Every structure is written in structure tokens, then in C-alpha cells.
Structure 1
Amino acid sequence: MTNHPIPTDLTGKTCIVTGANGGIGASAVEHFAAQGAQVFATDLGPQFTGDFDGADRVSYQAFNLLDADGLINCLAWIKSADPDVLFNNAAIFDMGTVLDADLAQYDRLFGLNVRSFYAVMQAAAQSMVAQNRAGSIINLASQAGHRGEALVAHYCATKAAVISYTQSAALALAPHHIRVNAISPGVIDTPMWQDVDALFAKFENKAPGQKKREVGEAVPLGHMGSPSDVAGTALYLASDLSSYVTAQTLCVDGGNVLR
């Protein structure tokens, strides 16, 4: 009987994960490493710790992608890793309507969620082309990128830009056999939701925890998602299972966005 590798096997692959220190990013690191990949992870601050299969295949470097030198150094680090897969996950969230979301918030959100996101994607793509690698780039969008929200003006716009850049990059890189896709999570139960809930409490005069409960109950499947729901989709897009999938944005949202 012939032994066939499992379809999601990433043995021999190098995966880069940005925003790797918690929630979705940390789960993606664990999923990729468990499937045999060498994982290069980055975020602010010290490396997250965890006891998981393949942890010895994870190396970590801290970069501040909103700092000019930090971004330059990160791009050089990406190219030196010769990646097969990029999970372009680093992002920040803030809240404000068009009446009070000022340009300082705009610069911060667009600086990381669009400018640095684009530079990281470009560096990975340039490395893949230079090494003649048929790679996979996975960008983290959001359900907020599919529609405006009154209290989340700048964030929604940044994630709409991620979706657009994903489509353009996929078409540009298809001749090089590099696939580019995005994932649009819905409401995912990560540590960031504590901050998000606090902002909604402020802007909507809600009790602490009320918004988080409400958005979970409003999901058609009846609950918030988990980081592993998104990381599992990232694993699919990183693997040969998705070899004919490019220029797509996969909604992992329990049915919130119908497309």
C-alpha cells in the first residue's frame, strides 16, 4: 500500500507569520508548525510561549512595523527567510465615526493595516519570484472590509484595501505561480475583543461585556468563532488543497457576510 502525505503537509516549507503573539496569529503559528513547516514569527514585544507540536521549528524576531527602521529590518528578515508562505496578519483596531476619527488615527491604522501590510506582501512576493518558488500569500482582511460601519470608519477602509490589494496582487503574481488570497474573519473570540468591547461600551454606552455577548448571539451560527477557525483556513490556503484557489477572500464569519 502506497503512503501518501496528508494534503495539508507543510514539511520542507518556510512560513512567515506576522502579528504572531496572540489570537489568530499564534494559532496560525501552531497550525503551520504542527504540519511540519519551519515558521518565522514576528510581532511586538517578547515571543509568545506555548507547548505545541513543532514548537522547536518556530523562530521569532520582534519588529515594530510602524517604525521606519523596524519595517526596513523586517523586510530584510522576510527576504532572508526565503518564504514559501506568508500569513500577513499584523493589524490594529480603533474606533470612531467620520465626525471624530481624526487623521492621527487614520495614519496609525493605515500605517500598519495598509502601508506595512503592503510592504510585507511585496517583500515576500519579491523573494518568492527571485527564488522561483510557487508560493502562497494569505492576507488577513475582515468582515469590516466588505461594508462600512458607522463607528469603525478607518478600520473598515483599511480592510477594504486589503481585499483590493489581494485581488491585484493575485493577478500580478499568477504568472509566477504565486497564489494570493485573503481571509475575512467575523467576530472571533481573541484577547483583542476585550479592547473592542471596551470601545463599544464607551461609544454605545453599553455595560462591559454586553457588546461581545450581542455580536456572538447575532452570528447566524449563534456564537463567536475561535482563532483556530481562522488558522485552519490559513492552513488550507497554505497547503496544496488550495492549489487552484487565488484572488479570493474567504469569509470565516459564521454566516455574517453573504457573498
Structure 2
Amino acid sequence: MSILGKVALVTGAGQGIGRGIALRLARDGADVAIVDVNEEKAQLVAKEVEALGRKATTFIADVGNRDDVRAAIEHAEKTLGGFDIIVNNAGIAQVQALADVTPEEVEKIFRINIQGVLWGIQAAAASFKARGKPGKIINASSIAGHEGYALLGVYSATKFAVRALTQAAAKEYASAGITVNAYCPGVVGTDMWVTIDKRMAEITGANPGETYEKFVNGIALGRAETPDDVASFVSYLAGPDSDYMTGQAPLIDGGLVYR
């Protein structure tokens, strides 16, 4: 079953996993609002969506700002003629020993990775309820939301928090026909992992690429994950085949973490 004619909003859609999700949803029939902090990248993805025959719009927003997130959803509704799906994908990484984490670093990553998801949940649920229609809320967690990793402790904490928000929201909004789920990718070949690998090398003395290779070598399916691998699962969560699923945060990591 498809999402033909649905309207989806994807945060952090200008690159990486977010871009992959936006394009997959478009291929599966959705019109897509591309939300990002980088206007140039957002516009490029919007053109790719339109090349697939779907409508696209862009909105520049800081997901850590509650008003920005609300405005992005209002823009999507007005411009694309509806609103059915939100993918709270935007997030940042942080590689730092717990002993060295600063208050400023904690505030920044919590603001984007936790508050950004919370504001998306709030605004999307309010919109769905006001329209009197069921909707799909889909949040970005991680394998680091199932297992804490050395030097990724605060990042892991944010992704555990996303799972908690997902479960709580699923319970609070079920009566309105709103489902809330998360997806938990592993080692994806994107700019985020380039940054993680670089910082790991700086802290541990490992050679560039060594940390990335170590993680990839632990994947049962024998290769790094791609944005398309993640996007295919997110499309399932966005579609009607997952209508009886809520409050879940499945691992989609090629066989790296088992729960």
C-alpha cells in the first residue's frame, strides 16, 4: 500500500539520511516539505523531489526553536494542501569523553536532538488533531538509543531520550489515531560518520577511517548502511502497513546491535 497523495515533512532533509528519506517518500507518492538550516541544500533536494513528479516546498528552520517548527508545519499545510506525516530526522553528533563534556556542548546537543523532536511531536500532533485526521509521527533514534557508547555518551543519552518521547507520545496520542514510532540506524555512510570518525581519531589516536572500519566490520550483513536502507524502513512507518504499530523503535542496522 502506498502513501500516494500524502504530505510529509522531513527535518534535516538537506543531506544524508534526511535527503534519502525525502526522496524515498516522494518516490512512494508523497509531496514533501524539505526543512533544513541550509537553504541551498534544501533547494537542491526539493528539485530532486520535483524531478520525481511530486510537489516540494522548502522551509529554513532551527528545529531547536519551537516557533520555527510550528511555522514549518503551517507552511507545509498551506503550500502543499495538507499534512499527514512528520519525520523528526534532524540531529547532530558529539564525540567527547564524559569527563570533558562542557555545559555548552550538552545544551547544544540536547536542544537539537531532544527538544527538536519534542517540538516536532507537539506541533504535528496539534495539527493532526485540529484537522481531525490521523497522522504519523516518526522520530530519529539510533543504535546509540539502545546501547551507550564510549565517547558518545551524551549523544547516546539524547537518542535514549528520543525512545522515551516516542513511547510516551504513542500512549498520549493513540486515542486521536496518531501513531508515533522511531527508527534506529547504525553505521551510515554520511557526513555525520565522517565527523565521528575524525573526532574518534583525534581523541584515541586511531588512524583516520579506523574507527569507521571497526564498526563496519562488526555488521553481520558485511557492509555499511546507506541512507536508502534507512529510508525504506521510514517509508514503511509512514505508510498504512504500519497502522497497528506505535511506540516502537526498531533497529535497522544490518545486524550490529541485537535487542
TM-score by length of 2: 0.92
- Measure the CA separation in 2 of the matches of 1:126 and 1:56: 26
1:176 counterpart residue number: 176
The Cα RMSD (Å) is: 1.5
Q: Does 1:194 align with 2:194?
A: yes
1:27 equivalent to 2:20? Answer yes
1:76 aligns with 2:74: no
Query: Are the aligned partners of 1:135 and 1:177 in contact in 2 as well (CA < 8 Å)?
Result: yes
Structure 2, unaligned runs of 5 or more: none
2:61–2:72: 8 Å Cα contact kept in structure 1?
A: no
Amino acid at match of 1:73: D
Q: 1:30 aligns to what SS in structure 2?
A: helix
Distance between the aligned counterparts of 1:33 and 1:75, measured in 2? 22
**Aligned residue in 1 for 2:33:** 40
CA–CA distance in 2 between the matches of 1:48 and 1:151?
34
Aligned counterpart, 1:59:
57
CA contact (8 A) 1:79 1:123 kept: no
The aligned runs of 1:1-259 (5 Å cut-off) are 7=1, 9-46=2-39, 47-49=42-44, 51=48, 53-54=51-52, 56-66=54-64, 68=65, 71-80=66-75, 81=77, 82-259=82-259
SS at match of 1:99: helix
What secondary structure does 2:250 align onto? strand
CA contact (8 A) 1:30 1:55 kept: no
> Following TM superposition, by how much is the alpha carbon of 1:176 offset from its aligned partner in structure 2, in angstroms?
0.6
- 3-state SS of paired residue (2:98): coil
Task: Give, in whole Å, the separation in 2 of the partners of 1:177 and 1:138.
Answer: 14
Please list every run of at least 4 consecutive aligned residues from structure 1 whose deviation after the TM superposition is greater than 2 angstroms: 50-56
TM-score, normalized by length of structure 1? Answer: 0.92
- Give the unaligned 5+ runs of structure 1: 1-6
- Which structure carries more helix by proportion? 2
- 1:73: Cα distance to partner? 3.0
CA contact (8 A) 2:144 2:156 kept: yes
